[in-house]
Structure 1
């Protein structure tokens, strides 16, 4: 099974860390992390990926410092491209951010369970 996890804001990393640790222990599950860059801070990212045992993102969308609409639209477009490449069985999102909205919309439109 392949899972794509979309994160972009600090609280999402904390929530994702719990499930990522469990997923890592399952040989039958592959997790691919997508970092939207919504709240990007290099020093904070190092903490999340190192100390919290979150897998390093395979994709970093680097979408930040835009209006809410522009940010969500760009994320949606890029996440859709990634989903076409990765063809996951499930998409995970956390919280109520632009990253969450973009990931949820992409999954819904592509008929990927959320």
Structure 2
């Protein structure tokens, strides 16, 4: 099963890290059982909503998130401009990848654009909102 995960801001990287690790573990167990039909392919889309090192790359490094399959490079701008650019580019990615589900996190412009693009293409959306404890 192919899923597309959409992130763009710090809190999303943290939540996506937990889900990505769970997917990797699920796939590892599926491989042990030789059940390739149940493997999950995660396509990671980074909108670029947060784009400097301290709000972006450092989280990918520390959380061991895979390098995004797509980096939309949206950057700064008004909410409308940022969301519009994301919506346009996410739609292109979703049409190309044709996932079974789109996973979005939190309440950012990236969340809105990802959920809206998926809904308009009749792709189910999974919305993860709950925070995760860091224990620090």
Q: Contact conserved, 2:50 with 2:56, CA < 8 A, in 1? A: no
The count of aligned residue pairs is: 114
RMSD: 1.1
Secondary structure, counterpart of 2:42 in structure 1: strand
Deviation sequence 1:49-105 (CA, Å, 0-9, x none): 222121110100010211100110110000000001101111000000000000000
Question: Which residue number in structure 2 is paired with residue 22 of structure 1?
Answer: 22
Q: Under a length normalisation based on structure 1, what TM-score does the superposition of the two structures give?
A: 0.94
Matching of residue 66 in structure 1 with residue 77 in structure 2: yes
Equivalent-residue separation in structure 2 for 1:112 and 1:91 (angstroms): 7
Equivalent-residue separation in structure 2 for 1:111 and 1:81 (angstroms): 14
Q: Contact conserved, 2:9 with 2:56, CA < 8 A, in 1? A: no
CA drift of 1:25 comes to 1.9
Equivalent-residue separation in structure 1 for 2:56 and 2:83 (angstroms): 21
What are the equivalent positions in structure 2 for 1:1-114 lying under 5 Å apart? 1-27=1-27, 28-114=39-125
Equivalent-residue separation in structure 2 for 1:90 and 1:34 (angstroms): 13
Q: Under a length normalisation based on structure 2, what TM-score does the superposition of the two structures give?
A: 0.80
Structure 2 alignment gaps of length 5 or more: 28-38, 126-136
